[in-house]
A and B are shown apart, each in its own frame.
Chain A
Amino acid sequence: MTAPRSLTTLADHEQVARATRPTAARRLGRVRGQPPSARAWLLVAVAGVAWSLWDAGVGRKAIVNPGGWQLVRRFWVAAVHPQFSSDFVLSTWHDTLTTIGFAVLGTVLAIMVGLVGGIAMSETGGIAKARVAAGAVSDGGAGMRIGPSGAYRAVFTKRCGGSFS
């Protein structure tokens, strides 16, 4: 049995899986010049947020409607005394079952698709190998079991990718 995983490790797996979509795989294969640094990205992010705020009219026109605060206050005050009449609690109970039902059946179907698809997609020669190598590259090889060729590719792309464009 493998070691227990935290939620974040599971989320990492999802990221690795997502990062290896065809577009991402193509990007990994075609390395042009050094990637911009973290600081450059931070600048880009700040500029992007400023542009979005300006476009949305922040500081240029009225955004807040002061008349609405009364309604918001009423909503939060209601949190202290929710509706606990027996009819409503009963119908809420039924609604809860419905919601859980959707979630459970949806998940089960997703897991079945996932198992069949996962087995079909794993270990299928070239695709699987490329995927594992790309995963190791995108996540620093966090606990991944990679074959010699995968490791070679990971190191190669990481070390030399920048200078061999």
Chain B
Amino acid sequence: MNILGRDPLVGILAIAIPFGAITAKVYAELIDESAGDTYRVLRVAGSGRLVSLAYGAIPNARADLVSYAFYRLECSLRSAVILGMIGAGGLGFRLSLSFQGLAYREMWTTIYALIVISALADWWGSWLRRAPNRTRMHISLFAGAVLVVASAAELRPDIGRLFSARTRALATDLVSRSWPPTAPRDGWWGLVHRAVATFQMSLLAIAIAGVLAVGVAFVAARRGTSRPRRLVAFVARGLLLLTRSIPPPVWALLVLFVVYPGPIPGALALGIYNFGILGRLCAEVVENLDPRPATALDALGAHGVSTFAYATLAQAGTRFATYSLYRWEVALRETVIVGVVGAGGLGRLLEQQRAAFNYSGMFATVLALLAASLVVDLISTAARRSLR
């Protein structure tokens, strides 16, 4: 934002850069997976690599590539709201303005709008995944194209700005002012201490989210046969949608009403938000479980609790743990956005340094955050390996 000024381009790039990297990795894998015999035949017949991929691999992977794109759209919506809270405009910005004025009724109008668009994106994605046939693909691609044109007309990002001389000068200036990284006022040990607090915040958040999500996942899964069970499942899914539609900074501000500042309010806010996301992933795990072990145990006359423990939980447990670990890595990065509103840790420091234009301090804080996320990634990878 400091380099490009207040242009919509900033928000778009802030979403596209991190998501582009992970999308590239996932796409590479999907393409490799589908580069089968057709691709090899084309290669042997002497066509180039790109041509062979275009005709031999990408058509096979198309359904998955499009599904993943819609999954990304759901994530982008959540990011766009958070970016809005930082100042990019839109619903996030409106939400933080209303909160500052303690205008709760206005806040709820915005929250309902958020719930509607998250539910729509959610529904669109699952509609496509359920039956990725030609008609649905074409309708979705057409609707997507309309949305892109409409969005460009609405935001009018100034692409020329990316390459202007002023941008280059500001970028050079920013780099020179960021180097070398400097310690915050309480020294390098203070920075380490905050990094540890951030780590703890993410750990508590994921513990809260994991316990709640596993509990609700079995209720929220679309497996009910009786009418009351289906109703309860619907309510549970609504709860999950609500908790993940309200962005974490709003949860943090709400929690800060009743909890004194520190890592605990941040952990609670992130715990509630990730409960919504993790609960949905876990509910889908439950829906996709192989029903045969449970049926077999039932037929053998096993008690309901034992059936649940040995058939359902035994199958789902590993997946639950894997998803919790995966969300933990994300939660560590999310501590920054709850830190911005005063929930403690590195995020709060980063916000203070940003307000003071202390770029070299910010650089050091970002390095500390990087180190903390590396530690989390290493632990998570090791844990996932032994859970396999």
Q: A64 near B107 (CB under 8 angstroms)?
A: no
> A105 and B61 in contact (CB under 8 A), knowing A41-B383, A58-B264?
no
B110 CB within 8 Å of chain A: yes
Residue of B20, B31, B374 near A123 (CB, 8 A) is B31
- Centre residue among B25, B36, B256, B374 by max chain A CB count within 10 A: B25
List chain B residues, Cβ under 8 A from A116. 24
List chain A residues, Cβ under 8 A from B21. 113, 117
Query: What separation, in Å, do the CA atoms of A19 and B387 have in the docked complex?
Result: 14
Chain B interface helix/strand/loop/mixed: helix
List chain B residues, Cβ under 8 A from A71. 102, 257
A57 CB within 8 Å of chain B: yes
B32 CB within 8 Å of chain A: yes
B368 CB within 8 Å of chain A: no
Chain A interface helix/strand/loop/mixed: helix
Residue of B15, B26, B35, B133 near A106 (CB, 8 A) is B15
| Least CB separation from A49: chain B residue | B207
B158 CB within 8 Å of chain A: no
List chain B residues, Cβ under 8 A from A102. 8, 11-12, 15, 76, 80, 83-84, 88, 90, 151, 155
Tally inter-chain residue pairs, CB-CB below 8 A. Answer: 362
Q: A96 near B91 (CB under 8 angstroms)?
A: yes
Q: C-beta contact mask, A29-53 vs B, less than 8 Å → 1, else 0?
A: 0000001111011000100110111
Chain B interface size, as a band, is 35 or more
A84 CB within 8 Å of chain B: yes
Please list the residues of chain A having a beta carbon within 8 angstroms of any beta carbon in chain B. 1-2, 4-8, 10-11, 13-21, 23-24, 27-28, 35-38, 40-41, 45, 48-49, 51-53, 55-58, 62-66, 68-69, 71-72, 74-75, 77-79, 81-84, 88-89, 91-93, 95-123, 128, 131-132, 135, 138-140, 143-145
8 examples of A-B residue contacts, CB within 8 angstroms = A7-B126, A21-B377, A56-B264, A57-B262, A62-B260, A78-B108, A82-B111, A131-B28
7 additional contacts, CB 8 Å, given A102-B90, A114-B20? A18-B326, A66-B258, A88-B109, A98-B84, A102-B15, A123-B32, A144-B33
